[in-house]
Amino acid sequence: MTTNTDLANRALAHIGDMPISDINDVENKAARTCNAFVQAVIDETLREHRWNCAISRATLSELSTPPKFGFSHAFQLPADFLRLLEVNGEQFDGSDEYFEIEEGKRLLTYGSTAQIRYIKRIGVSEFDPLLAKAVAAALAAEICIPLSRDTQMQAQLEVLKRRAIMRAQQIDAIEVGSREVRPMARLLANSPLIQSRFGGRRYRDPLRYYLP
């Protein structure tokens, strides 16, 4: 089972530091540094992608005080909320419906109900192995300067981080269900422009040219 200490030790290995026994060891500078950055790095990485292991659903409770103007209803977002994906079956970033997040904790809508899918804050024990690898690389990039002052190494770790995150996202995207990916594939496959371009050959599964 992966722990924050495990992530810290993988990050420390990237910068050539000795492993720690406990990330909560306040007497150890490396542990203190990792502990100061690890949750922010986790949250940032989780927000970057629709990680399957972090997707959850919730029916929101309406707040007693409606918005002062504009929207008709306000709903309380979950305590573990990190990023909104869908509201009442509509994609948040591509919907014709109108809704908005305010103060990072309230969802404002015109509808009287709100069922959402969202990225939630999860424990590291729930991480996909490639996500854990990506978070460790991201943590290494954050702790490099405080612990080593090596700007050249830090630049190299930034490249490592982006590659690790991109690889994890690509593999994770392959495992998304038909509701997430296949509608786009079907849209492209049925496009007259795509059909005329590929002459009925390679258009049948266009997404396979973007996913490994």
Could you list the pLDDT tens digit for every one of the 212 residues in the chain?
789 999 999 999 999 999 999 999 999 999 999 999 999 999 999 999 999 999 999 999 999 999 989 899 999 999 999 999 999 988 876 555 678 999 889 999 999 999 999 999 999 999 999 999 999 999 999 999 999 999 999 999 999 999 999 999 999 988 776 455 444 454 454 445 545 555 544 444 444 433 44
Q: How many CB atoms lie within 10 A of CB 8?
A: 26
Assess whether 70 and 111 both reside in one domain. yes
The count of structural domains within the chain is 3
Assess whether 206 and 156 both reside in one domain. no
Assess whether 184 and 199 both reside in one domain. yes
The pLDDT value recorded for residue 207 is 43
Instruction: Report which of 15, 14, 11, 19 is spatially closest to residue 36, judged by C-alpha positions.
Output: 11
Assess whether 100 and 137 both reside in one domain. no
Assess whether 88 and 183 both reside in one domain. no
The pLDDT value recorded for residue 97 is 62
Assess whether 138 and 45 both reside in one domain. yes
Assess whether 101 and 191 both reside in one domain. no
Assess whether 143 and 44 both reside in one domain. yes
The pLDDT value recorded for residue 183 is 46
Assess whether 104 and 204 both reside in one domain. no
Which residue segment(s) compose the domain that 68 sits in?
55-120
Assess whether 61 and 98 both reside in one domain. yes
What's the pTM?
0.79
Assess whether 62 and 39 both reside in one domain. no
Q: Judge contact between 85 and 50, C-beta under 8 A.
A: yes
Residues 6+ apart with CB under 8 A from 64: none
The pLDDT value recorded for residue 208 is 44
